[in-house]
Amino acid sequence: MSIPIAVTELPGNTRIADAALVVVAFCANWCGTCREFRPVLERIAKARPEILFAWADIEDHAELVGDIDVENFPSLAVFRAGSVLHYGVSLPHEAVVARMVDALSAQPPARAADAPPEVRALAERISR
């Protein structure tokens, strides 16, 4: 299944090792834009079964999200092999998000220098 799973399902998930990328959407249930973003992310995920997509409600999944300071919703973090490739706000524009995910999937592994340490720590936690 490629539709977004709960972020709490990521640690120890056997699909992580085989996934081309792990995409985590940081959202909040009270955020209208996040509610618009969920079906967009589901369509993107369905078309890309090689990528593992996860949904992180910052309140419901606070224990795993930890100290990540999400300033704007929704925000996306994209990981590969425990490294952060991208972290930033993303509006529910399907073509733009899909193009970004595809571009990141095609690029060689690299660390995003501007990713907060808390986001890098989450990448390491989920890749174990």
CB count in 10 Å sphere of residue 62: 12
How sure is the predictor about 23, in pLDDT bands with cuts at 50, 70 and 90?
Answer: very high
How sure is the predictor about 74, in pLDDT bands with cuts at 50, 70 and 90?
Answer: very high
For residue 94, the domain's CATH number is 3.40.30.10
The count of structural domains within the chain is 1
Selected residue with higher pLDDT from 56 and 9 = 56
pTM as predicted: 0.85
Q: What is the DSSP-derived secondary structure letter of residue 110?
A: -
Q: Is the pLDDT of residue 113 over 60?
A: no
What is the span of the domain harbouring residue 50? 5-126
The average pLDDT across 20-39 equals 91
pLDDT of residue 118: 86
